[in-house]
Structure 1
Amino acid sequence: MSVGAIASLVAMQGDGGAGTPLHPLVNAFMNGTATVLLLAGLAAIKADRRELHARLMTGAFVASSIFLVSYLAYHFGPQKELGPTAFNGPGPWKVAYLVLLITHLIGAVVNLPMVLRTFWLAHRERWEDHKRWARWTFPIWLYVSVTGVVIYLVLYPFNPPPA
């Protein structure tokens, strides 16, 4: 699917099924796509397939970028009046969810400049610096993309009804 087609889906106001807005579903899909591409990129570089690694990591960057545009459009665009989706689970589950959410958000904020720096170092062919940055950037990026999917699952299909 092209970036234009995905952007068109993101711009749509609509329903992702069973009352779920479309944006969170697109966000989860993009995070899941980034996760798969990140893991494939890791496997490619470990197999010394540098060109494939570069393409896969670029794909992960594109998927994460589409996620970011969708996230910002959902939370700051015309649908913002919907407000945030609350997690309705009981005490200990709510605490676990909040810990997951806070670590996800901190990771996402920290990770964006790290990803940009790591890509810039690769572009400049500063391979030793690139590897040093990637050792920190990769696990944070992977955590953020995996927890993005988990947060979607917790807030939509597995969120208990309000008490």
Structure 2
Amino acid sequence: MELHPLINACLNGTSAILLFLGLRAIKQGKRERHKKLMLGAFGASSVFLASYLLRFAISGTTRFPVEGVWKVAYLAVLFSHMFLAIALLPMVLRTLWLPLTGRFEPHRRIARFTFPIWAYVSVTGVAVYLMLYHLPSLLL
């Protein structure tokens, strides 16, 4: 099995963990910790995106080798992950830019939408990896 997809899944998982730790930090009033964790999540997501695009350019797509209900489930997770990831990029950039310019109230408003989408995309990135590279060996 290729190492590149595993690295990408780890980057998605790291982003998810940092996001949830960042949420906990801001709920505890730890702004500086929140900022560092969210910038870390952005860094992990950015490295993932660059790595994914490189891998896609080099080797293209990988087909899901199982038919039936498992393929439908995989495609549902994959497509929701992809479409939300595309919509997410400008949201993340705006959500991160606002507090860096001292505009905390607009940041809070948009973060209420950005956070759950970003968390979903990060977690489903790991799920797509597990479904594509490990689920078929359990089913076949």
Q: Is the 8 A contact 1:25 1:152 kept in 2?
A: yes
Equivalent position SS for 1:159: helix
- Please name the residue that 1:108 is paired with: 85
1:42 aligns with 2:23: yes
Q: How does 1:45-124 map to 2 (within 5 A)?
A: 45-76=26-57, 79-80=58-59, 83-124=60-101
Partner amino acid, structure 1, of 2:114: T
1:146 aligns with 2:123: yes
The structure richer in helix per residue is 2
1:33-75: per-residue Cα shift (whole Å, max 9, x none)? 0010000000000000000000000100000011001001101
Quote the offset at 1:28 in angstroms: 0.2
- Please name the residue that 2:8 is paired with: 27
- 2:73 and 2:131 map into 1 onto residues whose CA distance is 11
Q: Please identify runs of 4+ aligned residues in structure 1 that moved more than 4 A.
A: none
Which residues of structure 2 form unaligned runs of 5+? none
Q: Identity of paired residues, percent?
A: 55
TM-score (norm 2): 0.95
Superposition CA RMSD, Å: 1.6
- 1:69 and 1:159 map into 2 onto residues whose CA distance is 27
Relative contact order (alpha carbons < 8 A, sep ≥ 6): 1 or 2 greater? Answer: 2
- Please name the residue that 1:13 is paired with: none
